[in-house]
């Protein structure tokens, strides 16, 4: 997986966020500030522009630039959280021009750990971690199994989607949704939904 692969992934994410912007905002309207889709769309539009203006030489550089741009351009909690995740992915990959599945799995583990330090959320808190953590586990397991990248990313995307759906009955324990108490149950967490969308974009990139 070279720089072109990761640039394609980011482009896939930007297109998916644009397509699902209203749906993500509707999810956020139920338990948040009703701006998740709008904020992410603005952020990934800025990421596209940044990558076009300063084409990166390595996968790590591409992801660090994407993360830095999200932190600068996206308001609320989404910017720092997604920005930190992408920046940590990039830092973990370093200057390598080509990335194997074990390296990618380790980078995602580092990104998950960084989010845990930043936001303090754990699985079951009804946040993006509920989609990210199972996807990261599945990716690591696939790497240990010696799976091909396409199969591994397919498994990770399915795990993320399942994790997002599993947030529906949960009561939020972190973020703005936690202020609603029991009323936060019955709604899919928008951060988990957008995380699943990002992994689905990664799956599509691998299938190309």
Look up the CATH number of the domain holding residue 158.
Answer: 1.25.40.340
Q: Is the pLDDT of residue 134 over 90?
A: yes
C-alpha–C-alpha distance, residues 152 and 53, integer Å: 32
- Our measurement of the distance from residue 142's CA atom to the centroid of its chain's CA atoms, rounded to an integer in Å, reads 19
C-alpha–C-alpha distance, residues 75 and 32, integer Å: 13
Which residue would you say has higher pLDDT here, 1 or 183? Answer: 1
Give the mean pLDDT of the chain.
95
Q: What is the DSSP letter of 123?
A: T
Confidence (pTM):
0.96
pLDDT score of 78: 86
Q: Is the pLDDT of residue 28 over 90?
A: yes
Q: Is the pLDDT of residue 76 over 80?
A: no
Q: How confident is the model at residue 47 (pLDDT cuts 50, 70, 90)?
A: very high
Q: Are 15 and 114 in contact (CB under 8 A)?
A: no
Q: At 75, is the secondary structure helix, strand, or coil?
A: coil
- Give the model confidence (pLDDT) of 172-207 as tens digits: 998 888 888 888 899 999 999 999 999 999 999 999
Q: How confident is the model at residue 24 (pLDDT cuts 50, 70, 90)?
A: very high
Q: What does the CA dihedral 21, 130, 88, 15 come to, rounded to 10 degrees?
A: -20
pLDDT score of 127: 96
Q: Is the pLDDT of residue 145 over 80?
A: yes
Give the number of domains in the chain: 1
pLDDT score of 131: 98
pLDDT score of 82: 96
Q: What average pLDDT does this structure show over 90-95?
A: 97
Range of the domain at 149: 3-207
Q: Is the pLDDT of residue 140 over 90?
A: yes
pLDDT > 70 in the chain, percent: 100
Q: What average pLDDT does this structure show over 27-38?
A: 92
C-alpha–C-alpha distance, residues 37 and 207, integer Å: 26
Tokens of 174: 């972190």
Q: Is the pLDDT of residue 75 over 90?
A: no
pLDDT score of 176: 81
C-alpha–C-alpha distance, residues 143 and 195, integer Å: 20
- Give the model confidence (pLDDT) of 57-67 as tens digits: 999 999 999 99
């Amino acid at each position: 997986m070279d720089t072109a692969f990761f640039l394609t992934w980011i482009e896939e994410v930007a297109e998916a966020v644009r397509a699902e912007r209203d749906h993500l905002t509707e999810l956020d309207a139920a338990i948040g500030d009703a701006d998740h889709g709008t904020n992410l769309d603005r952020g990934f539009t800025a990421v596209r522009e940044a990558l076009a203006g300063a084409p990166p030489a390595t996968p790590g550089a591409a992801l660090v630039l994407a993360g830095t741009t999200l932190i600068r351009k996206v308001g609320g909690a989404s910017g720092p959280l997604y920005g930190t995740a992408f920046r940590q992915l990039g830092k973990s990959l370093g200057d390598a021009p080509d990335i194997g599945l074990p390296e990618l799995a380790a980078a995602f583990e580092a990104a998950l750990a960084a989010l845990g330090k930043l936001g303090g959320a754990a699985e079951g808190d009804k946040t993006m971690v509920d989609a990210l953590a199972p996807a990261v586990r599945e990716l690591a397991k696939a790497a240990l199994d010696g799976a091909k990248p396409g199969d591994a990313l397919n498994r990770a995307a399915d795990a993320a989607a399942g994790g997002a759906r599993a947030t529906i009955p949960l009561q939020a324990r972190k973020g703005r949704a936690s202020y609603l108490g029991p009323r936060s149950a019955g709604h899919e967490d928008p951060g988990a939904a957008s995380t699943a969308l990002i992994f689905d974009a990664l799956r599509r990139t691998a299938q190309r």
